[in-house]
Amino acid sequence: MMEERPQEKASSEDDERTNRCFFAWLSILAIIGGFLFGYDTGVISGAMILIKDDFTVTDSTQELIVSVTVGAAAIFALVGAFLNDRFGRKKVILTSSLIFSIGAVEMALAANVTELIIGRFIVGAGIGLSSMTVKSTIVDRAQQRVEIIVKVFRYR
């Protein structure tokens, strides 16, 4: 049985450390993506009190303000699969972040209920794209990591 050279051993340890850091980074991104959706859903509950007073909205309009984000997220999660194949995941993730930011600015600057609903829809689009893309990216990276581990043990 051949012994590993010190240089090869150090290189393999560096590769393993890099893989662990990369996997941890991807996991953090997934957590942030899930956090955004939950945070947005939770924050709108408290914000509805102020929205109700500022814009004098009806109950059905309040329901629309809350649910339009979830509806847009569902639609754009489906669209995300097509966009991932066509443009690549990295571009879709960056685009979804930009879309989310644009929606947040639109909501912050909303002068009426219609603008607020449009902003909520835009945020939902960003959430839907990122939820589809980030999760599938993490699954692929995790599978690659498992394959690397299997190959390492297989050829030792």
Q: How many CB atoms lie within 10 A of CB 131?
A: 21
**Residue 137 to residue 26: CA distance in whole angstroms:** 8
pTM higher than 0.85, yes or no?
A: no
CA atoms within 13 A on the CB side of 16: 8
Residue-wise pLDDT tens digits, 50-94 = 888 888 899 999 999 999 999 999 999 999 889 988 998 888 888
Residue with tokens 């893309």: 133
pLDDT band at 12 (very low <50, low <70, confident <90, very high): low
Residue 63's pLDDT is: 92
In angstroms, the first-to-last Cα distance of the chain is 10
Ordered structural domains, the chain, with CATH = 13-154 (1.20.1250.20)
Q: Identify the three-state secondary structure at position 110.
A: coil
Residue 33: both structure tokens together? 């993506």
Q: Maximum Cα–Cα distance for the chain, whole Å?
A: 79
